[in-house]
Structure 1
Amino acid sequence: MNAQMVFQRYEIKYLMTRRQQDAVLRAMEPYMVADDYSHSSIRNLYLDTPQFLLIRRSLDKPVYKEKVRIRSYGRAGMDSPVFAELKKKYRSVVYKRRLSLPQRQVLDCISGKQPWPDTQIGKELAYATAYYGSLSPAVFLSYERDAFHDRQTGSFRMTFDTEIRFRRDRLTLDSDTSGIPLLGPDQVLMELKVSGALPLWMVQVLSEQKLFKTSFSKYGSAYQTMLTTPQGGMLRYA
């Protein structure tokens, strides 16, 4: 799997309507192009302790926070390659480290049945899983994503996420994407991924559409929904 394994950037999020998304798409046409895999159905397994320690700490908005997850781009069987990811945020800067392994091997590494690979990222994942002691898949979370990058350098990226859903059962990436929705039918989550300042044209369209950044966290929103959903978020699938 040929993909970037280390990221360092700002990730700025905006909740918008479909009408606002159409306006952004029109404005970006001269500057942005679709990624090679422009549309993907992203599936995640977020790891946490039985007490949901990681997400509870994250929602407290500390200076430093981290998440551990397994991700695939589309349905992934137990022998299919997936990403094991360690995502950290320090003073608004996002650092993401990941490696690609078969899903079965990742789950065995998490459970302690076999060691993580003897690489720098493998050691970081081993430390994180050992530090928290009892990590296991806690939430399945999926969404549809359209991704774009700037025409000149590719360093500025934009993604649009829709159909964000989660559930607490059937915690495998080899399953459908049914679950409890986190967005309304007319809502879209846009993320701007940038290492420096936003392009001027992007600032202008944000102003014109009256779009303001939000601190929306997919896993955080899922956890907060779980607290008020029957049986901890296992009912009312869409």
Structure 2
Amino acid sequence: MSDHSFTRKEIKYVLTPKKFHQLWWSIKEYFVPDTYSQYPVHTVYYDTLDYQLIRRSLEKPKYKEKLRLRSYQPFQSKGESFIEIKKKYQGVVYKRRRLLDYHTLVGALAAKPLLPAEIRDEDTYISRQIGAEIRDLTARYELYPQIYLYYDRLAYVGQEDSEIRLTFDHNLSYGETILCEKESLQPFFEKPLIIMELKVPEAIPVPLAEIFSRHEIYPGSFSKYGYYYQNCYQKEKQVKGVRHA
């Protein structure tokens, strides 16, 4: 089984298409395409029925955590899917993920709470460690699959330092039901926006920081799940409330 663990800083920027093109011409010499340079991202976020995890995350505590399923092809295709636990402490991101077999994936996507016993380990230290962290979270909270998010990603790595990664996420959309068809997805934004994410082991390299400053591109706090909850979910909730009034 494939297990992965990442520790890094993730710095996010929200760009208009115009800003993206202006910036790219200034920074492209510093990057090369990643091994997988273009791909779709399918994500299902878990939360309590009253959205306790994301509500706490939006309060910007020193420590926060989330659980999600992720695949780079539709979940129905029986391709590789991962269950990920993502923690953030004082600006540093710690991500652990486990490869799921299709049988476990189907169970995880069911409209029921994810149970600790459903997260099984392979006979490796990292597998047991990741499994223990996920089981601890699912034991403390009754977590359900709450929202399906989709977007297309462009991915690059540093020309001189492959530990530096740069991604651009576009066509962000969400599904009101888990495993809904792509045609029924709803757009995130009223106007197209691109989420740029710079992933670095430590500080932003000075040449990049200078380019960002020159183009007046500054980091901001952005969470796809958080944006969905604050904007899309709350808006739908208000509309449904009006309809039922």
* TM-score, normalisation: structure 1: 0.88
What amino acid maps onto 1:210 in structure 2? E
Q: 1:138 aligns with which of 146, 157, 165?
A: 146
Aligned to 1:69: 68
State the distance in 1 between where 2:183 and 2:70 align.
Answer: 13
2:145 alignment partner, SS class:
strand
State the distance in 1 between where 2:152 and 2:68 align.
Answer: 17
Aligned to 2:133: 124
What amino acid maps onto 1:168 in structure 2? E
Structure-2 change in CA distance of 1:40 and 1:211 (3 Å): same
Are residues 1:148 and 2:156 paired?
yes
* CA positional deviation for 1:200: 2.0
State the distance in 2 between where 1:220 and 1:148 align.
Answer: 25
Greater helix fraction, Structure 1 or Structure 2 = 2
Q: 2:187 aligns with which of 181, 198, 204?
A: 181
Q: 2:211 aligns with which of 205, 221, 228?
A: 205
In structure 1, the gaps of 5 or more residues are 234-238
* CA positional deviation for 1:176: 2.1
Structure-2 change in CA distance of 1:99 and 1:7 (3 Å): same
Q: What does 1:218-233 align with in structure 2 at a 5 Å threshold? A: 218-225=224-231, 226-230=233-237
What amino acid maps onto 1:65 in structure 2? K
State the distance in 1 between where 2:150 and 2:236 align.
Answer: 18
* CA positional deviation for 1:184: 4.1
State the distance in 1 between where 2:155 and 2:190 align.
Answer: 21
What amino acid maps onto 2:188 in structure 1? L
Can you list the C-alpha shifts for 1:13-51, whole angstroms capped at 9, x where unaligned? 111111211122212222100111111110100001111
2:209 alignment partner, SS class:
helix
Worse overlay, 107-116 or 153-162: 107-116
Aligned to 1:100: 99
Cα pair 2:9 2:199 within 8 Å, conserved: yes
Cα pair 1:167 1:180 within 8 Å, conserved: yes
Aligned to 2:88: 89
1:227 alignment partner, SS class:
helix
State the distance in 2 between where 1:41 and 1:232 align.
Answer: 30
* TM-score, normalisation: structure 2: 0.85
State the distance in 1 between where 2:116 and 2:92 align.
Answer: 33
Aligned to 2:124: none
Can you list the C-alpha shifts for 1:56-103, whole angstroms capped at 9, x where unaligned? 111111111011000001213274320100000000111100010124
State the distance in 2 between where 1:94 and 1:147 align.
Answer: 18
Can you list the C-alpha shifts for 1:166-194, whole angstroms capped at 9, x where unaligned? 2331x13x742643322344421111111
Identity %: 36
* CA positional deviation for 1:201: 2.0
Are residues 1:36 and 2:35 paired?
yes
- Count of residues in correspondence between the two structures: 229
1:192 alignment partner, SS class:
strand
Cα pair 1:108 1:114 within 8 Å, conserved: no
Structure-2 change in CA distance of 1:221 and 1:212 (3 Å): same
1:211 alignment partner, SS class:
coil
Aligned to 1:236: none
In structure 2, the gaps of 5 or more residues are 122-127, 241-245
State the distance in 1 between where 2:5 and 2:215 align.
Answer: 33
* CA positional deviation for 1:232: 7.6
